[in-house]
Amino acid sequence: MKYRMTVNDQTYEVEIIDLHASPVLVTVDGERFEVLPEMVELEIARPAPKPVNPQPRATPSNGGSSTPRNPNAIPAPIPGVIVSIAVKVGEVISVGQEVCILEAMKMKNVIRANRAGRIEDIKVSVGQQVRHSDVLMTVGTEVAL
């Protein structure tokens, strides 16, 4: 069986030699792939041939949120209002150091650094409303402390 498939404006020639074999042999633009049966269903359900060089995607997020996380960012753990900021851009901070206070749920939540490094950017100001996992500030590469 031969298929022509277009994904992101790129057209692929896909040939499935025997759908009932295990593994199923598939050629995409002349390159051979072995596909396991349970994956075949997936491939058929979404008519997308496997990209030849799959791009690495999301690294695991750290706290149940589905948004991929920037490892340099200090995110808001909870929606609320910034009531004070304890650090300045360029300041070197250590893990666990207070960086700002976020008032949420009738509580002044102390936000602490999740990594050591130099404050690169502070993206919020006092009085600003932030949403869950908004980036509060970014911390540069770790420095020896």
Partner 1 sequence: MPRNDPRILELRALREKSRQGGGVQRIEKQHQKGKMTARERLSLLLDPGTFNELEPFITHQDPQAQSQGEKYLGEGVVTGYGQIEGRTVYVYAQDFTIFGGTLSEMQSHKICRVMDLALRNGVPIIGLIDSGGARIQDGVSSLAGYAEIFRRNAQYSGVIPQISLMLGPCAGGAAYSPALTDILIMVENTSFMFLTGPEVIKTVTGEVIDAEQLGGAYTHTAVSGVAHLATASENEALAMCRRVLSYLPSNNVENPPYYPPQDDPLRMEPQLNEIVPLDSTTPYHMHEVIDLIVDERSFLELQPHWGQNAITGFARIGGHSVGIVAQEPTSMAGVIDIDASDKMTRFVRMCDCFNVPIVTFVDSPGFLPGVDQEHRGIIRHGAKLLYGYSEATVPKICVITRKAYGGAYVVMSSKYLGTDITYAWPSAEVAVMGPEGAVGIIYKGQIEKAADPAAERQRLLDEYRRKWNNPYQAAGAGYVDDVIEPSETRPKIIAALAALRDKYAPNPPRKHGNMPV
The SS3 call for residue 88 is coil
Please state the closest distance from residue 121 (CB atom) to partner 1, in A.
24
- What are 51-55's contacts with CB under 8 Å, separation 24+? 51/7, 52/28
Nearer to partner 1, 42 or 143 (CB): 42
Please state the closest distance from residue 58 (CB atom) to partner 1, in A.
6
Nearer to partner 1, 79 or 118 (CB): 79
Contacting positions for partner 1 (CB under 8 A)? 39, 42, 50-51, 54-66, 77-79, 103-110, 131-132
Nearer to partner 1, 50 or 118 (CB): 50
Please state the closest distance from residue 36 (CB atom) to partner 1, in A.
8
Nearer to partner 1, 50 or 123 (CB): 50
Please state the closest distance from residue 33 (CB atom) to partner 1, in A.
9
- Contacts with 123 (C-beta within 8 Å, 6 or more apart), sequence order: 134, 135, 136, 137, 138
- Rounded distance between C-alpha atoms, residue 124 and residue 135, angstroms: 8
- Rounded distance between C-alpha atoms, residue 90 and residue 140, angstroms: 9
Enumerate helices (H) and strands (E) in the chain, giving the number of each.
1, 12
